[in-house]
Amino acid sequence: MSKSMMTINRTYKEGGFIRGEEEEHEEIEVRTMPDGCLVAQIGYNGRATINMGDFNSTQIGISLVLPAPVEEIEDAYEAAKKFVDMRMGKEVAEARKAAKGVK
């Protein structure tokens, strides 16, 4: 197996002004491409803004780039989209819990 990198960016705003930013990188296991295989890099990005109340918000951005044989570009795109959308759902749910003060 090979590794690919997912990036999660979080921007915290208060009254429209940025009060903090975080960037997190997470390695994702992907299959190793055979020698001599023509490989494409397929990327997918997701972004959401969550209202935290009192003119505060959290913006979450997730990006993932996957290697894929050229003949499997569509499948790789769908896999990247599914992965990012699933992870985005978790990140948004956590941000909404934080906005409500739920632990």
* Residue pLDDT, tens place only, 3-38: 898 999 999 999 989 999 999 999 988 888 888 889
Average pLDDT over residues 96-103: 76
Number of domains composing the chain: 1
Determine the Cα–Cα distance for residues 92 and 69; give it in Å rounded to an integer. Answer: 32
Question: For residue 103, what are the contacts with CB-CB under 8 A and spacing of at least 6?
Answer: 97
Helix ranges (DSSP H) in the chain: 73-100
Determine the Cα–Cα distance for residues 59 and 41; give it in Å rounded to an integer. Answer: 26
pLDDT for the residue 23: 96
Which of these, 13, 101, 4, lies nearest to 50 by C-alpha position?
A: 13
Host domain of residue 60? 2-100
The whole-model pTM stands at 0.83
Which of these, 8, 74, 12, lies nearest to 40 by C-alpha position?
A: 74
- Measured from the Cβ of residue 96, the count of other Cβ atoms closer than 10 Å reads 14
